[in-house]
Amino acid sequence: LVMLKISVITVSFNQGRYIRDNIESILSQDYPEFEHIIIDGGSTDDTVSILKQYPHLLWTSEKDRGQSDGLNKGFRRATGDVIAWINSDDMLAPGAMKALNEFFTANPDKYVVTGNQILIDGDGNQLSVVKAQPFTADHLLNGVKTSVMQNSTFFRKEVLDTVGHLDESFHYTMDHEFFVRISKQFQSYTLPVDLAKFRLWEESKTCSSQIKFFKELIRVKRLHGARLFSKGNVWVAWQFVKEPFKRIGFLRTMVRRIKGVK
């Protein structure tokens, strides 16, 4: 049986609360051909003391220029056949590595695959499962609700060698811009298997920085030649229009009443 080497890249900064869960989810895969590279941005909590407890890790802890810089350091260090990008507060699902090895060995002509994503809360409780969806450049640039499930999307190292690394000028949409470049050159596929767990919690970047995200999303669209008139642009415009209403109590109440929501 062919066993492809899987490189797991994790960036971390003051994630001592979750980093052990991340590490253990990869150690418990029962898959020997892997490396786990953790790039820590100079954490001041107990992250480093936790990292020191795992001799198998390839890790550094030093100040960096942000998440994109850290990920690129990890990408450059990766030696595996397949790349996994798992954020410090997220995890691999049980059996993910074996499922990935089976997919990529059985499909030598396929380079990118997305699996199902389990959504969990801050305490690790399962909320729901999001089914895998393929992605295209046209959909990412012009469609509605176009985010790629980054932590349950995996690709061969040849993809990195072809499209390059993350654009470090992006801090909120670096993964979106990265997957636009990937989808311009590689077809994506899906695997109907739970491959990763994505944590939704009150301090995560996903939950706390929506307007900054949408501003960068507009820049991605311009950079890659998105259509001016598209459902995606209408949707992004609506995000800016509705944001002030969220901040004004009586307007929010009025809108809810108009919609018939108590």
For residue 207, the model assigns a pLDDT of 44
Q: How far is CA 99 from the centre of its chain?
A: 19
Report CA torsion sign: 218, 221, 226, 231: negative
Report CA torsion sign: 47, 40, 85, 28: negative
Average pLDDT, integer, range 217-240: 75
123 token code pair:
């305490």
Average pLDDT, integer, range 184-194: 97
Backbone angles phi, psi at 198, to 5 degrees: -115, 125
How do 82-85 and 6-12 pair as beta strands?
Answer: parallel
Q: How many residues make up the chain in this entry?
A: 262
d(CA 210, CA 250): 22
Backbone angles phi, psi at 104, to 5 degrees: -75, -30
Residue 128: pLDDT band (50, 70, 90) is very high
Residue 145: pLDDT band (50, 70, 90) is confident
pLDDT at 235 over 80: no
Average pLDDT, integer, range 151-167: 97
d(CA 215, CA 204): 18
d(CA 9, CA 15): 15
d(CA 101, CA 68): 27
CB 25 within 8 A of CB 103: no
CA torsion angle for 24, 161, 149, 215 (degrees, to 10)?
A: 120
Cβ-based neighbour number of residue 150 at 10 Å:
19
Average pLDDT, integer, range 160-167: 96
Residue 190: pLDDT band (50, 70, 90) is very high
For residue 206, the model assigns a pLDDT of 47
131 token code pair:
């089914």
pLDDT in tens, 87-127: 999 999 999 999 999 999 999 999 999 999 999 998 999 99
DSSP, collapsed to helix, strand or coil, labels residue 187 as: coil
d(CA 141, CA 251): 32
